[in-house]
A = this chain, B = another copy of it.
């Protein structure tokens, strides 16, 4: 079966391309000594966090490995471990790349906008290619070795176990550092953002990488793996080997499209970097669609066109969710302007309008998911749903590249500020940074949308697998899994499942609160106790702040993580498989809704702030003179 080796080949190609990109970025000048020092501090902080995080997860991972080993045999256990390790490797590679490229981007900004874009985008693409490459390589190699898509299911489980903690830990880290740096530095002490006098400034820059690169990368790695495997499982039961092969080939198509499209990302000195990145995204979507058409009609004959339409439905969700996210969160559009407008009557009306905007922004995306799912299903049955998810996720290489570009550009600006380079360099990095905010929002929309479609595909695969499991035949009606919504146990499951995201959100918000509180205390202490810190003669203890964010993030990620992992187990064992199915449906629905709500409300608030800072409604009220240090508690 020659075609089967195309997928690991494409995965390997992606990894080689990542290595090539990394090498080319490392060849760029790392800037002057000061810039190198700052970059090194960020690199070390990021690595310290990753080391500590993965170390914390080792016992958890080993425990699951052993359970799988003794309960389900070595194949599932090995697949699980490979998934977890691949996720960790992608995290290390990506974080090394972005934190080694920040000062190089600053240095490149001295020459041209295009050069700065090129360095930062290549750095992000290292992460993108690693995620897609390791994902496809891992899944396809395990399939070649074990020959059974059911066995490799736990590859996705391994990726998922790491992703959850990476996302939560990274999120807590970045928000604690961000809030601590801003609230004491900007608001209380009146010094600008990224000011080297701020003790939390390095932690803040580490946080950008930890949250947007490592967290988002692990998240999409998991969705990528889960979707591919779900499509293989469903394909296997409907079309046999061809049904398994096809998703792998679509994955390979996505990688090829992403590699080609990286060459579209370039701009002139007065050009728009956003347009350059958009070309990369559009290029990936279009090339994928073209290849998918050829593959689908070749492999499935007359049925191929329906499957092709399903893939296009997924690609369309990509584009539409991006546009909708942009509409609700960009200050070029009404919703965000309306929040800025409402801020004139104070924080209360600001909050009400922002919450209402976030709630309202859930409507169109959910309808888009519904239509895409319905279209895919009507064209190609349940395989179509999986292929819509696959169509969306096979472009993950480019999406992660564009997303990981963000923290590099952000860091580059911070380094320009800290190394006291001129305003013209800062102007170039600012231009990139503001584009990074938009791409981060697009990537968030992508992550949510693809998670929704992945969950739908997994749900369908769950039904298929239960139907085949000899231990669960009691649940079947005419050989099909029937989870009847009119049974009270199922409804109870939906109720409890729908509650889970509310609780996990509460736990993570409280965790950020606690971590930020510690950070605020430390920054205030340093301002108070280190002599000459405000005059720039005393050196802040950056490492201490990095350490606080790291420890707090690791400590606080445990409770929500265990809760999210434990609740479905508890429901499954206490109330049975049908209630668990209801639970998963409920969790997916409110999980997607809360994610869209919070992500868009947050984006809109952030940009409404920027809209006002840019001069609307009288602009930012600047404090002329910083308050005396004694005023800082």
Q: Which residues in A have some Cβ–Cβ distance to B below 8 Å? A: 183, 342, 345-349, 351-353, 355-357, 359-360, 362-363, 366-367, 369-370, 373-374, 377, 382, 385, 452, 456, 459-460, 462-463, 477, 480-486, 488-492, 494-496, 498-499, 502-503, 505-507, 509-510, 512-513, 520, 575, 581-582, 585-586, 589-590, 592-593, 597
Contacts and interface: CB of A to CB of B under 8 A. Distances in A.
Contact of A509 (B356, B484, B502, B575): B356
Contacts of A581: 485-486
A579 to B, nearest CB: 9
A476 to B, nearest CB: 11
A374 B498 CA distance: 17
Contacts of A353: 510, 513
B494 A585 contact: yes
Given A486-B483, A502-B597, A586-B589, A370 B492 contact: yes
B585 A485 contact: yes
Given A491-B585, A503-B363, A513 B342 contact: yes
Given A183-B345, A359-B509, 14 more contacts: A345-B520, A353-B513, A359-B502, A363-B499, A366-B498, A367-B499, A460-B486, A477-B477, A480-B484, A480-B486, A484-B485, A485-B585, A498-B590, A589-B589
A465 B382 CA distance: 30
B492 A373 contact: yes
21 contacts: A353-B510, A355-B509, A356-B510, A359-B502, A360-B502, A360-B506, A363-B499, A363-B506, A366-B498, A373-B488, A373-B492, A374-B489, A374-B492, A377-B489, A385-B488, A460-B486, A477-B477, A485-B582, A485-B585, A494-B494, A498-B590
A377 B585 CA distance: 22
Given A494-B494, A589-B494, A485 B488 contact: no
A218 B462 CA distance: 43
B486 A485 contact: no
A444 to B, nearest CB: 18
A611 B546 CA distance: 36
Nearest to A356: B509
Given A488-B382, A490-B485, A495 B370 contact: yes
Copies of this chain in the oligomer: 2
A193 to B, nearest CB: 16
Contacts of A507: 360
A577 to B, nearest CB: 11
Nearest to A367: B496
B495 A592 contact: yes
Contacts of A373: 488, 491-492
A321 to B, nearest CB: 14
Q: Which 6 A-B pairs have the closest CB atoms?
A: A360-B506, A463-B486, A359-B506, A483-B485, A498-B589, A356-B509
Contacts of A586: 494, 589
Contacts of A349: 513
A490 B347 CA distance: 41
A566 B512 CA distance: 40
Given A363-B503, A366-B495, A593-B498, A356 B513 contact: yes
Contacts of A490: 485
Contacts of A481: 484, 486
A456 B491 contact: yes
A505 B356 CA distance: 7
A478 to B, nearest CB: 8
A220 to B, nearest CB: 21
Contacts of A347: 347, 351
Nearest to A498: B589
Given A481-B486, A486-B460, A499 B593 contact: yes
A352 B506 CA distance: 9
B502 A362 contact: yes
Residue from A367, A490, A499, A506 whose CB has the most chain B CB atoms within 10 Å: A499
A582 B597 CA distance: 22
B352 A351 contact: no
A305 B463 CA distance: 38
A385 to B, nearest CB: 6
Nearest to A372: B492
Contacts of A452: 495
A460 to B, nearest CB: 7
Contacts of A382: 488
B356 A506 contact: yes
Contact of A482 (B355, B462, B482): B482
A510 B359 CA distance: 11
A503 to B, nearest CB: 5
Given A363-B499, A509-B359, A374 B488 contact: yes
A360 B593 contact: no
Contacts of A360: 502-503, 506-507, 510
